[in-house]
Structure 1
Amino acid sequence: MDERKEIINKYIEAYNNFDIQGMMSCLHSDILFRNISNGEVNTETRGIEEFKELAEKSTAIFSSRCQSVTGFAATEDKAEVQIDYEGILAVDLPNGLQTGDKIQLKGRTVFQIKEGKLALIEDYS
């Protein structure tokens, strides 16, 4: 369990610091990422290159962002982390949100680890 917490915390710290290389170092080459909002998958990447492209695009959207872990639970093959998220937009978005607006969400992220790396990341909000 400590190994799982360690890799998850390392990934979240890199995410919060806009450290793309640090994030990539935590990922399995076959990483599957999904963002699920209101029960619908709105973003999905497969493989480390697709994930890296999304991560690079995402860094341009926010001037700051922070995922804070508020809970942690693990099963045999997965870990679930309760997350408080806050981000400040660096650009205007098509949905009407504008530069400087603050986004605050509560959610959870499910992680699966394979060969010591994150092989699945599913963000739920």
Structure 2
Amino acid sequence: MIDAVRESLIRAYVEAYNRFDVEGMLATLADGVRFEHHAGGELAVATDGKADFEKLARVGAAMFASRRQTLVSLEEREGRVVATVDFHGEVAEDIPDGPRAGTVIEMRGTSEFGFDGGAIARVIDRA
């Protein structure tokens, strides 16, 4: 069974993400949070600390006209919580060497959350 505090932190983080609420996302995070995004088995981007996370979150938010993460399942594994997540987003502007504005992206991935006290200290997204 998932700890209620950890589950509520994850749900608050995802709900803030879905609202494009960067401040709301930051409120769930530890000061030294580590964020990693892996795509195709490769580390695509990583940040350390809230300030770097905030910069990346703002860039990410600007890339989408709409976006939504839906929690499919939560599973506790050795002190971490692994969430299976469905993602749906519409690209806001043409991305050089990437998708064009209006492109809809749908995928399933996982987000692994680690904790320190009452905050999320690690987020590892895998798509």
TM-score interval for Structure 1 and Structure 2 normalised by the shorter chain: over 0.9
> 1:115 deviation in Å?
1.3
CA RMSD across the alignment: 0.8
Report the counterpart of residue 120 of structure 2 in structure 1. 118
Q: Number of aligned pairs?
A: 125
Structure 2 residue runs of 5 or longer lacking an equivalent are: none
In the TM superposition, structure 1's runs of 4+ consecutive aligned residues that sit over 2 Å from their partners are: none
Q: What letter corresponds to residue 62 of structure 2 in structure 1? A: A
Q: Structure 1 length normalisation: TM-score?
A: 0.97
Report the counterpart of residue 86 of structure 1 in structure 2. 88
Q: Deviations over 1:5-38 (max 9, x none)?
A: 1000000000000001100000000000000111
Report the counterpart of residue 39 of structure 1 in structure 2. 41
Give 3-state SS (helix, strand or coil) of 1:100's partner. coil
Report the counterpart of residue 22 of structure 2 in structure 1. 20
Q: Structure 2 length normalisation: TM-score?
A: 0.95
Following the alignment from structure 1 to structure 2, what is the Cα–Cα distance between the partners of residues 29 and 103? 31
Structure 1 residue runs of 5 or longer lacking an equivalent are: none
Q: What letter corresponds to residue 43 of structure 2 in structure 1? A: V
Following the alignment from structure 2 to structure 1, what is the Cα–Cα distance between the partners of residues 59 and 45? 13
Q: What letter corresponds to residue 64 of structure 2 in structure 1? A: F
> 1:2 deviation in Å?
0.9
% same residue: 31
